[in-house]
Structure 1
Amino acid sequence: MSKSARYEWRDQHASLNERMKGFLQNPNSEQLEAVVAEMRAYADAARNGQMEIPTRWTSYS
C-alpha cells in the first residue's frame, strides 16, 4: 500500500468517524442519513477499488 493510498484511507476513515460522533451526540434522522450516506460511499469506494484498505495497521492511541 502506497503512502498516498494510506493517507487517503485514513482521511476517509476519519471522516466516517466524525459523522458517527456527530450522530451519537445528536441522534436525529438528518444525522442518521448523513452517517448512512458516508458508510455507503466508504463501502462503494472499497468495493470498486477506488480506495485501498490496509490489511493491518498499528494504532498508537
Structure 2
Amino acid sequence: MSTMARLEWNDQQAELDQKLKGFMAQPDAARMEAVIAQMRTYVEAAQSGVIEIPKQWTSYN
C-alpha cells in the first residue's frame, strides 16, 4: 500500500470517526443520516478501488 493510499484511507477513517462521535454526543436523525451517508461513500470508494483498505494497521489511540 502506497503512502498516498494510506493517507487517503486514514482521511476517510477520520471523517467517519468525527461524524460518529458527533452522533454519539447528540443523537438525532440528521447526524445518523450523515454517518450512514459517510459509510456509504466509504464503501463505494473501497469497492470501486478509489481507496485501498490496508490488510493490517497499528492504532495508537
Query: 1:39 — aligned with what?
Result: 39
Query: 1:9 — aligned with what?
Result: 9
Separation of aligned partners in 2, 1:35 and 1:19? 6
Structure 1 runs not aligned, ≥5 long: none
Task: Using structure 1 for the length normalisation, give the TM-score.
Answer: 0.95
Query: 1:50 — aligned with what?
Result: 50
State the superposition RMSD in angstroms: 0.6
Task: Using structure 2 for the length normalisation, give the TM-score.
Answer: 0.95
Query: 2:21 — aligned with what?
Result: 21
Aligned residue pair count:
61
**How big is each residue's C-alpha offset from its partner over 1:7-26, in whole Å with a ceiling of 9 and x where there is no partner?**
00000100000000000011
Structure 2 runs not aligned, ≥5 long: none
Point out 4+ residue stretches in structure 1 off by more than 2 angstroms: none
